[in-house]
Each structure stands twice: as structure tokens, then as C-alpha cells.
């Protein structure tokens, strides 16, 4: 029997789970290697008590999420965080900045009890230790399959540590800074084949800050092209609110 796998979703738009359905060319091959015990998006049953691998999408926004993740960490031999929301906090984490209580009151009025048990939105990686990550919004299916292959083969995680600019240069893309547009590829973790940039859209940083990014040099690049530090940090916070970024 293959590894018993569960797929869970916390606070997100389920886009990364939907993305998993787009690997139909390889899905049957993958399913032949694992025992897909539970998939929140596609299952109507309950999550089993025992499993080997847990894929977790979404940010942590409630005490119930925290409790679930701790149980998952105790149960699963391998935990994989998939998507920006799980890896860096993503869009949900934006709600955790500033006056969180005021936001709940603005939405629910006197009915704030509807959101009882809430916690400030954070990434899964801020609550428990994870073994593998698949960043991006949404995830790149090719990268996901490579990570899953490493999991099934018992190999350690090997996420890219270089900034996007490295991949972009190899594809001979014209730099957006030369067009007078801001692009976060200079600090963002590569690994997606610079897909957005190659399609004519500047990088918005959904893969998180690259460990090897030179933030001091990045600040100089932003300023040289007329983008003030405050504006650059604001752009980075779209997906990286949970990360400490100092330009």
C-alpha cells in the first residue's frame, strides 16, 4: 500500500487544491503511488485518524485551525505546506495587520460572535514545523509533482533559494524596471520558471522572499528606478506580511 495522504484546506480560496486537479496527465500516475485517504475539496467523508502525509493549503485564522495543525503534526510523518497562504501567510495575512478587531466589527457589526475563536491570520509555517513547501499563488503543478516525488522517495526538500531574476535572465525576458514598472523578481524566490514575467506581467512576490536575496541591493535598485522604500515594502507585503522584510 502506498503512503496514506490527506489534503486539507484552511483559510484560502482553495485555488491550490483546484490546481491539483489540473495535473490530469500525471494524476493517475500519482494516485497509483499513494493512498489518497482524504481530500477536503473532493471528499464528503471525515478525515481519518491515521495517515502518513498531510498536504495543507491556506492560512491559519482560528483557534480550531491551530488545534488541527498540532494534531496533524503529531500524526503525519510528513507535512507539506502548499501555496502562499500556507507558506508565507499570503493574502489572508493582510487582514492581520493593523486593527483586526475593527475589521471584524466593520464586517459583522454586533454579530462578531460569528467569528469567535479567531486568531490573527498567519502562515502554517508560523504554527508548526513543516517538512516541505510548495510556494506560489497558485502553486506550480510541475513543482508540486517534483516535491511529491521527493517525499515518496524519502529525499529532503530542495526549494530554490535564488531570486527570480536568475531564472528571468536565462529566458531573456526584458526587465520591467527598464519599462518603468516595479517588479519583485529581484527579491522573490524562483522556481516557477518566471511564468508571470514571461507572459508579460511583473512579479508580485507570491513565492516569498528568496533566502539568497540581497535586500540592500534590491533597495538600491528600487530607488534608482524611482520607487521609494515605503512603496517597495508595501508591494512586498501583499504576500509576505508574516515575513520580516527590512530594505
> Over the chain, what is the mean pLDDT?
88
Q: Are residues 182 and 120 in the same domain?
A: no
User: Helices (DSSP H) in 9-99: which residue ranges?
Assistant: 15-20, 24-31, 63-75, 84-87
132-134 and 118-122 strand pairing: unpaired
In the listed set 153, 182, 211, which residue is the last one of a domain according to the structure?
153
Number of structural domains the chain divides into:
2
Q: Looking at 109, 132, 153, which one is the last position of a domain?
A: 153
The Cα 134–Cα 206 span in angstroms is 11
Residue 158 falls within a domain, yes or no?
no
pLDDT at 74: 98
Q: How many other β-carbons are positioned within 10 Å of the β-carbon of residue 64?
A: 13
Please report, rounded to a whole number, the percentage of residues in the chain having pLDDT higher than 90: 60
- 159 belongs to a structural domain: no
Residue partners of 122: CB distance under 8 A and separation at least 6: 59, 60, 89, 93, 96, 242
Residue 246 forms part of a structural domain: no
Give the per-residue pLDDT at 244.
61
**Domain of 120, in residue numbers:** 3-153
**In a domain? residue 245:** no
End-to-end CA, the chain: 49
Contact 7/41 with Cβ under 8 angstroms? yes
Of 84, 119, 153, the one marking the end of a domain is 153
Q: What is the CATH number of the domain that holds 53?
A: 3.40.50.700
Q: What is the pLDDT of residue 28?
A: 61
Q: Is the pLDDT of residue 136 over 70?
A: yes
pLDDT for 106 equals: 77
Amino acid at each position: 500500500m502506498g503512503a496514506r495522504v490527506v489534503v486539507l484546506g484552511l483559510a484560502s480560496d482553495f485555488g491550490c487544491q483546484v490546481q491539483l486537479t489540473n495535473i490530469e496527465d500525471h494524476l493517475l500516475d500519482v494516485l497509483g503511488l499513494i493512498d489518497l485517504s482524504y481530500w477536503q475539496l473532493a471528499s464528503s467523508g471525515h478525515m481519518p485518524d491515521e495517515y502518513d502525509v498531510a498536504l495543507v493549503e491556506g492560512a491559519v485564522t482560528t483557534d480550531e485551525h491551530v488545534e488541527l495543525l498540532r494534531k496533524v503534526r503529531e500524526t503525519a510523518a510528513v507535512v507539506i505546506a502548499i501555496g502562499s497562504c500556507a507558506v508565507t501567510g499570503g493574502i489572508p495575512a493582510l487582514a492581520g495587520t493593523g486593527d483586526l478587531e475593527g475589521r471584524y466589527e466593520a464586517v459583522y457589526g454586533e454579530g462578531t460572535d460569528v467569528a469567535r475563536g479567531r486568531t490573527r491570520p498567519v502562515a502554517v509555517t508560523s504554527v508548526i514545523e513543516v517538512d516541505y513547501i510548495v510556494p506560489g499563488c497558485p502553486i506550480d503543478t510541475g513543482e508540486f509533482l517534483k516535491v511529491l516525488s521527493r517525499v515518496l522517495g524519502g529525499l529532503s526538500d530542495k526549494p530554490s533559494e535564488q531570486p527570480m531574476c536568475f531564472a528571468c535572465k536565462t529566458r531573456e525576458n526584458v526587465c520591467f524596471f527598464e519599462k518603468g514598472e516595479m517588479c519583485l523578481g529581484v527579491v522573490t524566490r524562483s522556481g516557477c520558471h518566471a511564468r508571470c514575467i514571461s507572459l508579460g506581467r511583473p512579479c508580485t512576490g507570491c513565492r516569498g522572499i528568496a533566502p539568497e536575496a540581497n535586500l540592500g541591493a534590491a533597495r538600491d535598485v528600487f530607488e534608482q528606478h524611482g520607487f521609494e522604500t515605503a512603496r517597495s515594502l508595501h508591494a512586498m507585503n501583499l504576500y509576505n506580511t508574516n515575513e520580516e522584510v527590512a530594505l
